[in-house]
Structure 1
Amino acid sequence: MAETADNKEILRGGQFLVKETACEDVFTPEDFNEEQKMMKETVKEFVDREIVPHRERFEHKDYALTEEVMRKAGELGLLGIAVPEEYDGLGMGFVSTMLVCDYISGATGSIATAFGAHTGIGTMPITLYGTEEQKKKYVPKLATGEWFGAYCLTEPGAGSDANSGKTKAELSSDEKTYKINGQKMWISNAGFCNVFIVFARIEDDKNITGFIVENDPTNGISLGEEEKKLGIHSSSTRQVFFNDTVVPVENMLSGRGEGFKIAMNALNVGRIKLAAACLDAQRRVIDMGVKYANERVQFKTPIAKFGAIKSKLAEMATNAYACESAAYRAAKNIEDRISIRISEGNTHQEAELKGVEEYAIECSILKVAASEDMQSCADEGIQIFGGMGFSADAPMEAAWRDARISRIYEGTNEINRMLAVGMLVKKAMKGHVDLLNPAMAVGEELTGIPSFDTPDYSEVLSEEKAIVAKLKKVFLMVAGSAIQKYGPDLESHQQLLMAASDILIEIYMAESTILRTEKNVKRFGEDTQKEQIAMAQLYLYHAVDTINLKAKEGIVSFAEGDEQRMMLMGLKRFTKYQNQPNVVALRNLIAEKITSENTYPF
């Protein structure tokens, strides 16, 4: 059952699929309070002063510059936004932590990576799983940038299968220390960190265990050379070797065998924060793209006037707007869930852990959507710059390379696609999301006589909302039939899961975009939101196409004969517009706004 916070209904994670959300109940970037607006401006000024002028240095592997910028961010308090005040942090809410991650990450992937690795997987595990003694000892130094953190999970033989690591932790005979031996790879911040969160296996335990390990070269810790990477050139990325590294027993994080749980929960936070890290990156690429398009003259005309370029700018902006809408919607849901749990007597640790875990489905959705939209944005940015875009002297080339890692970080997009559907099915089995009854209702609708009434779509975005409701039926139809057919074996049908996940992703992203726009139309007036309405309509148009394609792919993979024909007819009914949008006109309207203001203006 949905709960309430601040007089609005808060759906549980995944319930967006089976319940209607009122636009008044979503949080949007237009809802930032004065403190958040000031924080946003502070971060933007910091980036424009400390990062943007040094782009070339970041591309030439200036690891010392990354460390210097991180230390300055710590002095400003930007590394401790999510850390409680008693550990020298600012103790701000989840939306504010997303906002800082968003705006500090846009100018270069090197800082985005260093910031995310330190504040998220470097500091957060101690904040949320550490004992009081561990938190007092380590968190203040990490929150202020006096020390930096890194996270040692991945091994040569343990990537997506994180629990298969071979690193060992052996208890000493006097039971006072553990001796750690093993090899970790792709460790961000390794070159300048003071503390590692290390995952190792004790004896033949089923699950790994987490340890807080100080970086002391005299204690059997050695580093490989800096990795040569496609992008994020000034992000320190090294292998870390542990050779009889002695760790006090009191540095175990949480309990024995709890490491896999820590790793998974850290990844949930990391996924939504990674989505945030892709937001300002998109805005900045759009800004650079439109400025170049307005200045670049060919055939005696600025190329921004050409329809082909207008199309690119409009699509880039639409995707960025959608990602913003969905990311801050989910962030506020998490913040509200944390508040509800604290009011019920949970500790800060319990509330934050369970608050984020509740929306793990949305975190995976956002990670996939934002990382792929960022890659597409940078790719089109290069295209707008033409030959100059391919040159390392122009900023688009670095943006494209930096963006590529985002589809691999925090669990690959393939893993996250399958996780999103898998977690939804598990929630349904636990009774947290009722998929069965809505799926049965859709099944009955398919065999019933369709209505031939013509709905009234006179209100702005009313048809778009109706289409989103029908797209949810597509997911229930495909996923419901697939679960019925395969049961527990569904997880072995990865291509079907991937198709179902793409449907789920497009529903959440399109609905978030429409709800944000509807909310702003109601409070600011339709005339002020013409381009935003166009973006909501354009995003939905593409979502319908994607869902049509992926649902058809899924249906023909497991259904035959009359069942297949009935489902394909249902698909046609559920993806049908009453009034087809003029996509070219929508793009032109959006592009005119961007080119006239010479920036991403939304």
Structure 2
Amino acid sequence: MNNVTRGGQFLVKQTACEDVFTPEDYTEEQLMMRDSVKEFIDKEVWPFKDRFEKKDYAFTEACMRKAGEMGFLSVAVPEAYGGMGMGFVDTVLVCDYISGATGSFSTAFGAHTGIGTMPITLYGTEAQKAKYVPKLASGEWFGAYCLTEPGAGSDANSGKTKAVLSEDGTHYSITGQKMWISNAGFCNLFIVFARIENDKNITGFIVENDPSNGISMNEEEHKLGIRASSTRQVFFNETKVPVENMLSERGNGFKIAMNALNVGRIKLAAACLDAQRRVTSGAVKYANERVQFNVPISSFGAIKYKLAEMATSCYAGESATYRASKDIENRIKLREEAGESHQEAELKGVEEFAIECSILKVAVSEDIQNCSDEGIQILGGMGFSEDTPMESAWRDARISRIYEGTNEINRMLSVGMLIKKAMKGHVDLLAPAMKVAEELMGIPDFDIPDYSELFSEEKDMIVRLKKAFLMVAGSAVQKFGPDLEEHQQLLMAAADMLIEIYMAESTILRTEKLAKKVGQDACKEQIAMAQLYLYKAVDVISQKGKESIVSFASGDEQRMMLMGLRRFTKYTNMPNIVGLREQIAAKLIAANEYCF
């Protein structure tokens, strides 16, 4: 616990591989939990994918009840309220492996355990938690979350739903329309956000689902993907809610919503991981079985390229997601040891890493979309057919870039939150940015460094990529000040640089730790994936850095920054990318599945 980091500090702090948690560090208990979840999905969910695709909402509900009986809905719930009270890494692990078979079940699970249950667990009074949480933890009741409205999506605090206090002060009457409500068709309670009078911020309420109390719904939405996830519009017409069902304090709803989204973002990243493993495994199996020109198509370089890239993005996503989840868990424990309640410690622990949560949400949701798209391509015509699981994986993946805050919003949030942390003194960006500016004015070092140790050049490259980001972001802040948020294309380009730094560094640190544990020969393919991911990250950072620089700098300043960018993104020993892909693909083809 001596090296507990702060959110966003990865950009200005060198992290030792020993200080990151990786999937190779699972405890025996975590491995047992993982295997139990996988067995449940393989037995109860995966064989019945066709029922989900045929919009069998009742089957989704039945699977949720079975998950409740197995205890999977209660992993994050404290023991005092009927839960397992497990750590943050455990909750991420369960979310990971329970989500791979179908997006319909994954969405139902995530909506219930996350935004349906967690706001009460973290913000509820003792009476509210005692009344509702045990029922939600067991699967006796299911929860749903009513935030989005026809005119309030990304701008969540602009909702028009009203809550009016009764004359006798005993209850509120809630009136308004909510849309895209997951689990609406079978939930027992809603977390509803409404505005009291002309308050600046919305307020949260716990509302039991009683149709006789002014609650009605539209029919199920017909969607591109997650077809058996119950999604309905919900209407409240003077729905009476006891005053004791206000969640937290008046006007605190926006804060509840934002903190719920922070947790939802890292769990959404986790929920994309096993989907990637299954898609990659399916593509490898098909490529080994499909014969064209008298050989399996897995022997073709074009197919090897795709398989290697699919596996690499999954490996990187695992590396970064579990790194962040353990950082959050460590921060929660630190706060608890300082005397905070579990409630407060978890809230602040997750909020601390809101930047990483946004980074992961963007990166991993885009990776599963690309992975499933390549899966369809490898299967060719069969990939486009409903007879194989590829097309449903592609459709299910598409929503991941929209909910829990669109990827565009999350990109801008990640940079905006980092700058705010710097202004509060939580992350020192100013001093490192000034050092980079001084370095640009100095004479470059032309000595060829000694890169004989594993990852010595790669880790040096990560240091330089961080300098590239600090150069761009520092100059942009200096140029635009508080108006920077109005320059959205610049923010999004800077966010892509930030994302690639975190993902590449996480992948290298995981692999370095593994190599120290088992030896380099035993993890050659993982080393290849770390090098391949970094190479691609350097390309993205070079491109987005140029795009950013030319958008706000000109003349000598522009030339100097572009020269600096070239210096920061230059390899001494360029890796053989084709050879790395061949090596990774060979391992996958021999194993006939994703095997990392």
Structure 1 equivalent of residue 534 of structure 2: 540
TM-score scaled by length of structure 1: 0.99
Superposed counterparts of 1:10-89, under 5 Å: 10-89=4-83
Partners in 1 of 2:172 and 2:460 — Cα distance?
59
Partners in 2 of 1:597 and 1:392 — Cα distance?
26
Partners in 2 of 1:296 and 1:250 — Cα distance?
62
Structure 2 equivalent of residue 561 of structure 1: 555
Partners in 2 of 1:23 and 1:456 — Cα distance?
20
Q: State the 1:351 CA deviation.
A: 0.2
Superposed counterparts of 1:477-492, under 5 Å: 477-492=471-486
Q: Secondary structure at the match of 2:206?
A: strand
- Residues 246-269 of structure 1 show CA distances to partners (whole Å, capped at 9, x for unaligned) of 000000000000000000000000
TM-score scaled by length of structure 2: 1.00
Structure 1 equivalent of residue 226 of structure 2: 232
| 1:459 paired residue among 453, 465, 469 | 453
Partners in 2 of 1:448 and 1:266 — Cα distance?
46
Instruction: Indicate whether 1:388 and 2:370 are aligned.
Output: no
| 1:213 paired residue among 200, 207, 223 | 207
Structure 1 equivalent of residue 280 of structure 2: 286
Structure 2 equivalent of residue 166 of structure 1: 160
Superposed counterparts of 1:227-376, under 5 Å: 227-376=221-370
Q: State the 1:58 CA deviation.
A: 0.4
Alignment-mate amino acid for residue 67 of structure 1: E
Q: Secondary structure at the match of 1:184?
A: strand
Q: Secondary structure at the match of 1:151?
A: strand
Q: State the 1:27 CA deviation.
A: 0.2
Partners in 1 of 2:276 and 2:97 — Cα distance?
11
Instruction: Indicate whether 1:474 and 2:468 are aligned.
Output: yes
Structure 2 equivalent of residue 445 of structure 1: 439
Q: State the 1:394 CA deviation.
A: 1.0
Partners in 2 of 1:125 and 1:109 — Cα distance?
23
| 1:583 paired residue among 573, 577, 591 | 577
Partners in 1 of 2:575 and 2:25 — Cα distance?
29
Q: State the 1:537 CA deviation.
A: 0.3
Structure 2 equivalent of residue 436 of structure 1: 430
- Residues 403-429 of structure 1 show CA distances to partners (whole Å, capped at 9, x for unaligned) of 000000100000000000000000000
- Residues 339-373 of structure 1 show CA distances to partners (whole Å, capped at 9, x for unaligned) of 00000000010000000000000000000000000
Partners in 1 of 2:540 and 2:4 — Cα distance?
28
Partners in 2 of 1:10 and 1:562 — Cα distance?
41
Q: Secondary structure at the match of 2:173?
A: strand
Q: Secondary structure at the match of 1:472?
A: helix
Q: State the 1:11 CA deviation.
A: 1.4
| 1:571 paired residue among 537, 556, 565 | 565
Gaps of 5+ in 2: none
Instruction: Indicate whether 1:108 and 2:102 are aligned.
Output: yes
Partners in 2 of 1:57 and 1:232 — Cα distance?
12
Alignment-mate amino acid for residue 159 of structure 2: G
Alignment-mate amino acid for residue 356 of structure 1: V
Gaps of 5+ in 1: none
Partners in 2 of 1:308 and 1:263 — Cα distance?
45
Q: State the 1:583 CA deviation.
A: 0.4
Q: State the 1:458 CA deviation.
A: 0.3
RMSD across aligned positions (CA): 0.4
- The sequence identity of aligned pairs, in percent, is 77
Structure 2 equivalent of residue 98 of structure 1: 92
Partners in 1 of 2:170 and 2:533 — Cα distance?
58
Partners in 1 of 2:209 and 2:295 — Cα distance?
58
Q: State the 1:392 CA deviation.
A: 1.0
Q: Secondary structure at the match of 1:478?
A: helix
Instruction: Indicate whether 1:131 and 2:125 are aligned.
Output: yes
Q: Secondary structure at the match of 1:206?
A: coil
- Residues 205-243 of structure 1 show CA distances to partners (whole Å, capped at 9, x for unaligned) of 000000000000000000111001000000000000000
Q: Secondary structure at the match of 1:79?
A: helix
Instruction: Indicate whether 1:427 and 2:421 are aligned.
Output: yes
Q: Secondary structure at the match of 2:32?
A: helix
Structure 1 equivalent of residue 488 of structure 2: 494
| 1:406 paired residue among 396, 400, 404 | 400
Q: State the 1:291 CA deviation.
A: 0.4
Structure 2 equivalent of residue 594 of structure 1: 588
Instruction: Indicate whether 1:523 and 2:517 are aligned.
Output: yes
Q: Secondary structure at the match of 1:169?
A: strand
